[in-house]
Structures are given as structure tokens and as C-alpha cells.
């Protein structure tokens, strides 16, 4: 059985397949063997959902369809489950764990995602306990329906339908504003064909039809820049910082091709993109004529 997982000790490591084979004897014995092996392989590991459904209890059909409805959340809040244990019951596999809230630390120049819980250890004890109480335990339970007398292959197929498989990229599951980030993080061969997002504080190559600000190209000026909403999970966690987005401002003064250049995590990046997509600019000019230009903008999230 091959299942996609991430090592909990390093949330940003490459996706690793775990493969195992189980001898099937009687249904009860086979079920016990499979459950033991599943726990051996996935307890204290991270699994990534194909769809980022919100909620502390999610139930799936064996083909990956969700029972009922649930909103889709940001991947930094709702994609990853830190597995505590797995249990096979009649007609279902139950996975219990914790929602992983992903953050990006300003001190990490590699921009690799980190588990927010693990960063709390740096806080004073009193402050850490207050934050943990405010956020809650983040418990999650994933239930996957299985056919009667499910075989090893049935369980493997059901897991593959709900969670990402070996070799699958996050590029295909995240919103467009994250695609370039993951292409670069994963060393994806399609990175060169995605919108070019510069490393923060570096000078990028201009996009076709878009200029860089220079002595000959006057920068656009924001004339309407509404503040972003604060993600509720980030507010409860007292998490704050500055998000950096890359975008093109067209000759009409409207933003497009917005990409996350330096992320924050905890659902704040999507809030930043939502806000900046509504901004309006006096466009950049070259020789007195409006032109498209690529820029970085900073979006700050601070609790007062």
C-alpha cells in the first residue's frame, strides 16, 4: 500500500511515499494487521487533504466525495492533519489528529512552511498557555467509508482519493496566487511557465508587456487601498506580520496576476490577496502614457 505523507518533524520536506504489503487471512485478522500497520506508518505524521475542507469532523465516501457540505478554507489552515491514530471500524476508517496551522517565520529566508504549534515553544509560558487556550485543541477527525470486508487495496484506494498521492504537487490543489510559490519550493518543471515572482527584495525580470519602475517608468500610485480583513484563526492566535505580494498593475490601474511573494500563513495570505485585488491605482506612465508595470506591495496585519 502506498500513501502520501509528510514528516511531522519537517513540514516542508518532500512528499514521501510509504509502501507496505499485508498478508490477508481472515477478515478480522487482516483488519487488525492493516490497522496496526497503518498506525505504524502514519501516527505522528502529516497527511494532506486533496480539498481543504473546514470542520473538525469530515466524512468521505471511498471515492473521495464529501458527505454533505463544508466550506473550503485556506491551505495554511485546512489542508494538513497531524495524525494521532487510525482505527478500522465496520465499513469505515477513522483518522484522528490535529489541524496543522501553517506559518512562515520572518527569520527563515527559505520561506518554508512551519507548524504554528511548534513555534509557540519560544513564547513565555504564561503567554503560550493563553494563546493555546484561545485557539483551542484544533482536533480533527476524518472518517472514510469503506466497502464491507474491505481489502488492503480498498483502503489504499480510499486513502488516495482523500489525501494526496506520492509525486503529486500542491500546485494542482492551491489557488492560483500560490502556484508560483509551490513551483519554486518543489522545484517543479513548470515553474518557468508560471508568472515570475521575484524573491523578496530582488529585482525580477519584467513580464512580457510589463515594465519595471525606473527613471523612465513612473510608479503607479494607489488611490483606493482598503485594509484586509483579519483571519479569525490568526486573530485568536495573536499572529501578525507583513505579507508581501507581487502583482502587475495594468494601464487601466487595476491589479492582476497577484502572487504570494513572501507569505505569512494562518489564512492571512488569502485575506491580503482578496484586499489587493480590490485596490485601484493611478497607472504607471512611460513617456506620459499609461503602461503595465510589475510591483511588490506590502500588506500588514497587526493587532492593537
List, for residues 14-64, the tens digit of each pLDDT value.
Answer: 344 444 344 334 455 566 888 999 999 889 999 999 999 999 999 999 999
Residue 13 scores a pLDDT above 50: no
Write down the pLDDT at residue 28: 57
String of DSSP letters for 6-45: EETT-TTSPPEEEE------SHHHHHHHHHHHHHHHHTTE
Q: How many domains is the chain partitioned into structurally?
A: 2
Residue 253 scores a pLDDT above 50: yes
Asked whether residue 112 is assigned to any structural domain, the reply reads: no
CA angle 74, 137, 111 (to 5 degrees): 40
pLDDT tens digit sequence for 216-242:
999 999 999 999 999 999 999 999 999
Residue 300 scores a pLDDT above 80: yes
Asked whether residue 117 is assigned to any structural domain, the reply reads: no
Asked whether residue 51 is assigned to any structural domain, the reply reads: yes
Asked whether residue 128 is assigned to any structural domain, the reply reads: no
Confidence of residue 211 (pLDDT cuts 50, 70, 90): confident
Pairing mode of beta strands 217-218, 139-145: unpaired
Same domain, 270 and 185: yes
Query: Which residues have C-beta within 8 Å of that of residue 125, sequence separation ≥ 6?
Result: none
Write down the pLDDT at residue 46: 92
Give the closest residue to 144 by CA, choosing from 134, 157, 133: 157
Asked whether residue 211 is assigned to any structural domain, the reply reads: yes
Same domain, 184 and 283: yes
Higher pLDDT, 149 or 280: 280
Q: Please state, as a whole number, how many other Cβ atoms lie within 10 Å of the Cβ of residue 27.
A: 12
Asked whether residue 29 is assigned to any structural domain, the reply reads: yes
Same domain, 36 and 144: yes
The parent domain of residue 78 ranges over 2-101+138-168
Write down the pLDDT at residue 124: 85
Confidence of residue 279 (pLDDT cuts 50, 70, 90): very high
Write down the pLDDT at residue 64: 97
Asked whether residue 130 is assigned to any structural domain, the reply reads: no
Q: Tell me the whole-structure pTM to 2 decimals.
A: 0.82
pLDDT tens digit sequence for 18-27:
443 443 344 5
Amino acid at each position: 500500500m502506498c500513501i502520501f505523507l509528510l514528516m511531522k518533524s519537517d513540514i516542508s520536506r518532500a512528499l514521501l511515499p510509504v509502501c507496505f504489503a499485508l498478508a490477508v487471512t481472515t477478515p478480522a485478522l487482516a483488519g487488525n494487521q492493516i490497522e496496526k500497520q497503518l498506525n505504524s506508518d502514519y501516527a505522528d505524521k502529516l497527511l494532506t487533504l486533496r480539498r481543504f475542507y473546514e470542520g473538525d469532523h469530515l466524512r468521505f465516501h471511498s471515492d473521495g466525495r464529501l458527505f454533505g457540505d463544508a466550506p473550503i478554507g485556506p491551505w495554511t489552515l485546512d489542508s494538513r492533519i497531524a495524525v494521532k491514530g487510525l482505527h478500522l471500524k465496520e465499513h469505515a476508517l477513522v483518522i484522528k489528529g490535529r489541524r496543522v496551522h501553517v506559518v512562515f517565520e520572518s527569520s527563515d529566508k527559505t520561506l518554508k512552511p512551519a507548524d504554528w504549534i511548534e513555534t509557540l515553544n519560544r513564547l513565555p509560558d504564561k503567554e503560550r498557555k493563553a494563546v493555546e487556550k484561545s485557539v483551542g485543541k484544533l482536533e480533527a477527525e476524518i472518517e472514510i467509508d469503506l466497502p464491507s470486508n474491505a481489502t488492503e487495496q480498498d483502503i489504499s484506494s480510499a486513502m488516495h482519493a482523500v489525501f494526496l498521492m506520492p509525486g503529486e504537487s500542491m500546485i494542482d490543489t492551491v489557488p492560483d496566487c500560490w502556484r508560483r510559490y509551490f513551483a519554486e519550493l518543489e522545484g517543479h518543471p513548470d515553474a518557468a511557465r508560471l508568472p515570475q515572482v521575484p524573491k523578496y527584495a530582488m529585482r525580477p525580470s519584467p513580464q512580457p508587456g510589463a515594465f519595471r519602475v525606473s527613471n523612465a517608468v513612473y510608479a503607479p500610485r494607489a488611490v483606493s487601498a482598503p485594509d484586509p480583513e483579519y483571519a479569525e484563526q490568526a486573530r485568536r492566535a495573536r499572529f501578525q506580520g507583513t505579507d508581501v505580494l507581487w502583482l502587475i498593475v495594468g494601464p487601466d490601474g487595476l491589479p492582476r496576476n497577484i502572487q504570494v511573494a513572501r507569505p505569512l500563513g494562518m489564512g492571512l495570505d488569502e485575506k491580503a490577496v482578496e484586499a489587493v485585488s480590490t485596490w485601484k491605482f493611478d497607472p504607471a506612465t512611460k513617456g506620459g502614457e499609461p503602461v503595465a508595470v510589475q510591483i511588490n506591495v506590502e500588506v500588514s496585519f497587526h493587532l492593537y
